[in-house]
């Protein structure tokens, strides 16, 4: 029998759902899963009929980071983990951040190591109350990767980020929400209904403006205030030329809800 696909892709309306699918290994990343995931993201990002992407995991885990069985070394061998990041993780994180549409992550269970940080790269993160976030790197003698050392201090502040990285202790979904690491913790049975409803709602909104908004947020990590103000002017000029801006203003003036077309 052939191996099941490590990533499942489905479309409902304008929402593409991408599911990590190695449940027996808590959806840990293999090279094959990386290739399939990146291809799925690139396709959804380029597909104009898709206006929101929902990422989740099959089974009881979201993603346990790198598949450590792929990292078994023969005596005397040294792995180039930097190459693995440059080839697989870094392009994935950048693809999520720069996708011209919202990416929602439904963290259905444990998110460890690079699995946690790929979730945090998404635009809105919902987690099941039973899920945990583990910056597991130091437990195996590694440093945070997949954007963790960028995202965590910005999301929760330096003190909490440092302690999570140094200790590698699990953070509950509730604490993750209370600390501002994620958007919301919800009851386990509510996770997929709420994540799907959120994705469907976002898919009805002004997609072009969202793409421009994501550009602004991406650049704000390194821009000065002057640079960011200039970028806002450029992006707003472009948003002002969109069909959705016309639709939004006309609907406001008519006292009706807008029906955005995503352009
Ligand atoms: C796994 C894994 C896993 C393989 C569970 N691999 N099988 C690293 C290197 C290279 C380049 C780039 O970046 C990175 C970054 C990283 O991601 S480093 C961090 C790697 N991840 C970890 O260190 C986490 C390892 N896993 C765990 O600590 C636990 O499994 C957690 C806390 C996630 C879940 O614990 P439990 O709920 O008790 O589940 P379990 O440990 O029993 O796991 C279930 C199965 O999944 C089990 O397989 P088995 O065949 O025995 O049932 C595990 O071996 C397998 N699994 N994580 N990363």
Residue 228 lies in a domain: yes
Whose CA is closest to atom 4 on ligand 1?
Answer: 67
Domain around 37: 7-203
Cα of 112 from ligand 1 centre, angstroms:
8
Q: Does 87 score more than 80 pLDDT? A: yes
Mean pLDDT confidence for 28-54: 97
Q: What is the pLDDT of residues 43-72, one digit of tens each?
A: 999 999 999 999 999 999 999 999 999 866
99 φ, ψ (degrees, to nearest 5): -60, 135
Whose CA is closest to atom 9 on ligand 1?
Answer: 66
Residues 162 and 214 in one domain: no
Residue 27 lies in a domain: yes
Q: Lowest-pLDDT range, 28-42, 46-60, 66-80, 227-241?
A: 66-80
Domain count for the chain, please give it: 2
Looking from the CA of residue 115, the nearest atom of ligand 1 is 17
Residue 263 lies in a domain: no
- Nearest by Cα to 121 from 138, 145, 137, 87: 145
Can you list the positions of beta strands (E) in the chain? Answer: 7-12, 15-20, 52-57, 61-63, 103-107, 110-112, 124-128, 132-134, 170-172, 184-186
Q: Which residues sit with their C-beta closer than 6 Å to ligand 1?
A: 25-26, 28, 64-69, 71, 81, 84-85, 89, 110, 112-114, 134, 136-137, 139-140, 142, 145
Q: What is the pLDDT of residues 114-166, one digit of tens each?
A: 999 999 999 999 999 999 999 999 999 999 999 999 999 999 999 999 999 99
Residues 105 and 183 in one domain: yes
Rounded to whole angstroms, the Cα distance separating 142 from 35 reads 23
Cα of 43 from ligand 1 centre, angstroms:
28
Rounded to whole angstroms, the Cα distance separating 211 from 128 reads 27
Q: In a mutational test of the pocket of ligand 1, which residue from 23, 24, 110, 112 has the highest number of ligand atoms less than 8 Å from its CB?
A: 112
Residues 121 and 240 in one domain: no
Mean pLDDT confidence for 27-36: 97
Q: Which of 203, 218, 234 is the endpoint of a domain?
A: 203
Residue 245 lies in a domain: yes
Angle between helix axes 207-220 and 225-240 (nearest 10 degrees) is 170
For residue 131, the domain's CATH number is 3.90.226.10
For residue 221, the domain's CATH number is 1.10.12.10
Residues 139 and 212 in one domain: no
Residues 29 and 53 in one domain: yes
Residues 78 and 91 in one domain: yes
Q: Does 259 score more than 70 pLDDT? A: yes
Residues 108 and 180 in one domain: yes
Residue 180 lies in a domain: yes
Q: Does 2 score more than 80 pLDDT? A: no
Residues 56 and 181 in one domain: yes
> pLDDT grade, residue 30 (50/70/90)?
very high
Q: Which of 171, 188, 203 is the endpoint of a domain?
A: 203
Residues 164 and 247 in one domain: no
Whose CA is closest to atom 23 on ligand 1?
Answer: 136
Q: Bridge partners of 132?
A: 172
Given this model, what pLDDT does residue 1 score? 61
Given this model, what pLDDT does residue 155 score? 97
Cα of 233 from ligand 1 centre, angstroms:
45
Q: Does 77 score more than 90 pLDDT? A: no
- Nearest by Cα to 9 from 41, 48, 32, 31: 41
Whose CA is closest to atom 24 on ligand 1?
Answer: 64
List of residues 6+ apart from 32 with CB closer than 8 A: 6
- Nearest by Cα to 206 from 182, 238, 228, 231: 238
Residue 259 lies in a domain: no
Residue 1 lies in a domain: no
Residues 213 and 148 in one domain: no
Residues 39 and 82 in one domain: yes
Cα of 239 from ligand 1 centre, angstroms:
43
Q: Does 181 score more than 80 pLDDT? A: yes
Residues 135 and 27 in one domain: yes
Global confidence as pTM: 0.96
Structure tokens at 154: 């910005």
Mean pLDDT confidence for 206-231: 97
Mean pLDDT of the residues in the chain? 96
């Amino acid at each position: 029998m052939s191996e099941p696909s490590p990533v499942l892709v489905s479309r409902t309306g304008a929402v593409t759902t991408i599911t990590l699918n190695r449940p027996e290994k808590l959806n840990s990343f293999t090279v094959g899963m990386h290739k399939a995931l990146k291809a799925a993201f690139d396709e959804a990002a380029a597909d104009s009929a898709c206006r929101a992407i929902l990422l989740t995991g099959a089974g009881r885990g979201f993603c346990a980071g790198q598949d450590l069985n792929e990292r078994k070394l023969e005596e005397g061998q040294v792995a180039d983990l930097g190459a693995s990041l440059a080839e697989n993780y870094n392009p994935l994180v950048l693809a999520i951040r720069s996708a011209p549409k919202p990416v929602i992550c439904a963290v259905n269970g444990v998110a460890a190591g690079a699995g946690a940080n790929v979730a945090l790269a998404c635009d809105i993160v919902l987690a099941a109350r039973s899920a945990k976030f583990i910056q597991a790197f130091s437990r195996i003698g590694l440093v945070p990767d997949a954007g963790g050392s960028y995202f965590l201090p910005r999301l929760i502040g330096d003190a909490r980020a440092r302690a999570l990285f140094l200790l590698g202790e699990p953070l509950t979904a509730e604490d993750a929400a209370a600390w501002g690491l994620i958007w919301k913790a919800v009851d386990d049975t509510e996770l997929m209904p709420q994540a799907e409803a959120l994705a469907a709602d976002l898919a009805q909104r002004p997609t072009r403006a969202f793409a421009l908004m994501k550009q602004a947020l991406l650049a704000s990590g390194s821009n000065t205030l002057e640079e960011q103000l200039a970028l806002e002017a450029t992006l707003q000029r472009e948003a002002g030329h969109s069909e959705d801006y016309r639709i939004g203003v006309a609907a406001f003036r008519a006292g009706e809800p807008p029906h955005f077309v995503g352009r």
